[in-house]
């Protein structure tokens, strides 16, 4: 019976009504603090995981993991593509011609990057084909001067499929009449949307048309490579350049979007640290609760000691009481956090549609909706940290209770 004494009395103290309502209030606030801290931490980490996942799938699905270029352009690019595809890490390759330019329609001007692509090869390195709102990449046939625009770019220009746009490139053409900027009329044959900032500054045309516009002849600007693991892009790029020799250069995704990925990782760590502090504050409120309970229960402790309870048993009673408060708060917080993490995207979408506003504008942020991705490892780590902090907060009050001297207490009873 004495072995079960700490558990039985500790749980009884949790359920019992107290004469001192302030103690009950402190216990409730400790429980609520743990619940909110755990729930918010699960929700925020899930949202940060969602941003991380969207960056990898959307942004890096459109942006090449690495690019291999030559100073004079690549002429025999098909042979090089087959050669690089033999590497263990390379799972896709496609040629490209990239040209910075400005689109002009009816007095509206928008700058964008135009990628000349080979429609049959592009699916090997890009997700663009799976995000076409209208039209198809197969419409980009050589000599037809068709172009595919991002949805935001098309909206800013006020054009749709079938409309014509003028592309001005920052290179001059010398004619008998003088020096004029190089320009070409394209027909919009498709519109894509990935829900990211690329929708506002990216367009696709046929690679042969772009070779003609850039005056490259049979050469292409380079090869875009898809790797089986984007985090080996830097080392794999160096290895490829060392294998190819001089005259080539490699550019991996960390040069263009690495800072964004690093910022998300840093924000995730800092937010997790700050919210863990909130959990710690809530957990250590249990110290105040238990100290007041110990003071209130001096007589009960003295009686238990006189009937044979050891200091270890007395300490166990208040550890059980504190942990019970923590377990209830943590359990409710975990359930609430998981529920919010799984529904926050739909909830925000409903609020946006109900109020007619948009919280994330793809023209400002790199995605247009609030992503959430629940990782069970994060939940386990949060629960473990909350349990650990709660247990630590019970030790001092429980130790104080075990030090109560029965003779001193009962002398005045």
| Distance separating alpha carbons of residues 73 and 1, to the nearest angstrom | 85
Token code pair at residue 291: 């100290």
Quote the CA–CA distance of 101 and 389 in Å, as a whole number.
57
pLDDT at 224 over 80: yes
| Residues 6+ positions from 111 with CB-CB distance below 8 Å | 100, 101, 102, 103, 201
- Residues 124-156 pLDDT 10s: 888 888 888 898 888 999 989 999 999 889 999
Range of lowest pLDDT (59-68, 111-120, 209-218): 59-68
Q: What's the mean pLDDT when you consider all of the chain?
A: 81
The CA-based dihedral angle spanning residues 35, 36, 38, 40, taken in that order and rounded to the nearest 10 degrees: 160
> Residue 9: which pLDDT band, with cuts at 50, 70 and 90?
low
Mean pLDDT for the stretch of residues 202-222:
89
H or E element that contains 99: strand 90-105
Between 355 and 104, whose confidence is greater? 104
The answer to whether the predicted template modeling score (pTM) of the entire model surpasses 0.85 is no
Locate 156 and state its tokens.
């800013």
Higher-confidence residue: 181 or 206?
Answer: 206
Distance between first and last Cα of the chain: 27
Position with higher pLDDT, 2 vs 403: 403
For Cα atoms 296, 302, 303, give the angle at the middle one, nearest 5 degrees: 110
Quick one: which of 188, 205, 193, 203 has its CA closest to 132?
Answer: 193
Number of neighbouring beta carbons within 10 Å of residue 13: 22
Least Cα distance to 210 among 155, 150, 167 occurs for 167
Q: Residue 49, Cβ neighbours under 10 Å: how many?
A: 19
Statement: residue 46 has pLDDT above 70: yes
Instruction: Flag whether pLDDT at 217 surpasses 80.
Output: yes
pLDDT in tens, 172-190: 655 555 556 678 899 999 9
Q: Give the tokens for residue 411.
A: 């002398």
Predicted confidence (pLDDT) per residue in 294-330, tens digit: 776 767 777 777 777 777 887 888 788 788 888 888 9
Tell me what the mean pLDDT of segment 56-84 comes to: 82
pLDDT computed for residue 24 by the predictor: 66
Select the more confidently predicted residue: 244 or 408: 244
* Cα(178)–Cα(256) distance, integer angstroms: 37
SS3 359: coil
pLDDT digits (tens, 9 = 90+) for 329-348: 899 999 999 999 988 888 87
What mean pLDDT is predicted for residues 223-242? 87
Q: Which range (215-229, 294-308, 309-323, 379-393) has the least confidence?
A: 294-308
Which pLDDT value is given to residue 413? Answer: 55
Report helix, strand or coil for 332. Answer: helix
């Amino acid at each position: 019976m004495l072995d079960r004494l700490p558990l039985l009395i500790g749980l009884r103290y949790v359920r019992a009504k107290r004469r001192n309502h302030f103690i009950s209030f402190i216990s409730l606030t400790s429980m609520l603090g743990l619940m909110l801290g755990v729930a918010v931490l699960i929700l925020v980490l899930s949202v940060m995981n969602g941003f991380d996942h969207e960056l990898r799938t959307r942004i890096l699905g459109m942006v090449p993991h690495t690019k291999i270029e030559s100073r004079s352009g690549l002429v025999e690019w098909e042979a090089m593509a087959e050669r690089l595809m033999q590497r263990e890490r390379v799972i896709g390759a496609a040629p490209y011609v990239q040209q910075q330019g400005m689109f002009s329609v009816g007095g509206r001007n928008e700058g964008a990057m135009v990628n000349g692509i080979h429609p049959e090869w592009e699916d090997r390195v890009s997700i663009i084909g799976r995000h076409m709102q209208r039209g198809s990449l197969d419409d980009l046939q050589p000599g037809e001067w068709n172009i595919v625009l991002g949805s935001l770019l098309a909206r800013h220009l006020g054009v749709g499929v079938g409309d014509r746009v003028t592309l001005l490139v920052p290179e001059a053409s010398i004619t008998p009449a003088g020096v004029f900027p190089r320009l070409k009329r394209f027909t919009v044959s498709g519109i894509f949307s990935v829900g990211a900032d690329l929708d506002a500054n990216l367009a696709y045309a046929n690679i042969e048309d772009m070779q003609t516009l850039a005056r490259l002849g049979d050469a292409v600007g380079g090869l875009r490579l898809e790797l089986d693991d984007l985090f080996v892009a830097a080392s794999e790029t160096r290895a490829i350049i060392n294998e190819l020799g001089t005259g080539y250069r490699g550019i991996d995704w960390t040069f263009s979007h690495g800072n964004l990925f690093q910022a998300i990782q840093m924000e995730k760590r800092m937010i997790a640290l700050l919210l863990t502090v909130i959990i710690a504050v809530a957990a250590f409120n249990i110290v105040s609760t238990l100290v007041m309970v110990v003071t209130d229960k001096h007589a009960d402790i003295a009686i238990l000691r006189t009937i044979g309870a050891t200091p270890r048993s007395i300490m166990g009673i208040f550890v059980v009481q504190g942990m019970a408060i923590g377990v209830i708060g943590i359990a409710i917080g975990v359930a609430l956090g998981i529920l919010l993490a799984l529904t926050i995207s739909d909830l925000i979408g409903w609020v946006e549609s109900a109020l007619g506003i948009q919280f994330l504008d793809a023209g400002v942020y790199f995605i247009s909706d609030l992503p959430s991705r629940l990782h069970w490892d994060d939940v386990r780590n949060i629960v473990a940290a909350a349990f650990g902090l709660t247990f630590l907060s019970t030790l001092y009050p429980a130790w104080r209770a075990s030090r109560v001297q029965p003779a001193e207490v009962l002398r005045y009873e």
